[in-house]
Amino acid sequence: MTYFIKADRFLLEKEEKSESYLQVVNDRFGEFTDAVPSDAEVVDWSGYTIAPGLFDTHIHGINGFDIMDGQAEAVHGISEAILPLGVTRFLPTTLTSSNKDLNAAISAVKEAVKHGLGGAQSEGIFLEGPYFTEKHKGAQNPIYFRDPDYMEYRKWQNLAEEGIVKIALAPERDSSMEFIRAVSNDGVLVSLAHTDASFEYCKDAIDAGAENFVHLFNGMSGVHHREPGVVGAALTDGRAFAELICDGFHVHPEIAVMADQIKDDKLTLITDCMRAGSMPDGKYQLGEFPVIMKDGIARTESGSLAGSTLKLVDGVKNLYQWSGKPLFEVWHRGSLSPAASLGRDEELGSIAGGKIADFVVVDDDLNIQATAVAGEFKYRKA
């Protein structure tokens, strides 16, 4: 299958390209050209922009589905619901829960992926927990918190058939540094989250191999001029990526812009979306906790933020409007940076010859008109 995409604008890694044709060969991007053969198949998106498919590396659920449902149907539902939102790749994300529920969630993802996902494609499982501490527990259930256990993790990894690609923990827990070294050596992205660790503990964790901070500013100790804390470590260490929920509620717009200025391409936009995403206000469930969504904001009964209902493309729109940076630069915070955090940027995250042809078509207001996964159009707006 070979065709050419015609469009007014293409968002590339370092620039925008105007009024050209982009070749797609099977599931890969080819080269740009100013003219095509007379018998070539041309998909004409004149008047629109072609951007890389978005990659949500932290999503629990959407549209009434949740990974912790422990059902393949939920994984399929999430895959299909995020496709019209411009997401082509995602990490099904768990919560701190019982071993029984975690096993069911892992098995459900494995089953759904083996069956074949019809929408956005899974790039592996993200285990958010259970190795956290209580002070910044958020919507994680503290009755299951415990110290990291490599053999326990290996059981989950075996169940997942090596499908776990990311795990989050609090580095101040006993045995964390040994765990971080071992899991990093397995090629898994170790992330710091729901933690009250000191700046020094975080630096030690980064030295040991932890290379990501989960939902920056949320679920962690903040910056103090005498104790930089977790946030200070995330912002000042150039080795680590940092996730940001860019909805304007979890993080103030000016702080989001500051984080973007400091972290640059090490900033990854995420949603942390839960089942209430794309649903009306009302009562929902996040893991074992009842959640109330009002005005699109989900909170536990105690008032804590409970994930989000953000659409990743809206996070991109927000940062674009707040920062004033070029669109191609901001867009890659939701595509290339997430891929790079997982070591997948040679294959995914941007429009470049030889990469997997994940892309979206957007109008001038960044509304999604079409989404293609590996060169195949899987969604077109009616």
Q: Which residues are catalytic?
A: 272
Nearest CA-CA partner of 11 in 2, 3, 84, 20: 20
Strand partners, 127: 167
| Rounded Cα distance, 126 and 57, in Å | 8
Q: H/E element holding 206?
A: helix 199-208
| Rounded Cα distance, 262 and 315, in Å | 18
Dig out the tokens for 322 from the structure: 């707040």
| Helices 176-185, 150-159: crossing angle, 10 deg rounding | 30
Q: How many Cβ atoms sit within 10 Å of the Cβ of residue 204?
A: 18
Is residue 189 helix, strand or coil?
strand
Dig out the tokens for 56 from the structure: 């949500």
Asked if residues 141 and 97 have their Cβ atoms less than 8 Å apart, the reply is yes
| CA 201 to each of CA 6, 171, 184, 263: distance values in angstroms, whole numbers, following the listed order | 51, 7, 17, 20
Q: How many Cβ atoms sit within 10 Å of the Cβ of residue 90?
A: 31
Q: What is the DSSP string of 155-174?
A: HHHHHTTS-EEEEEE-TTST
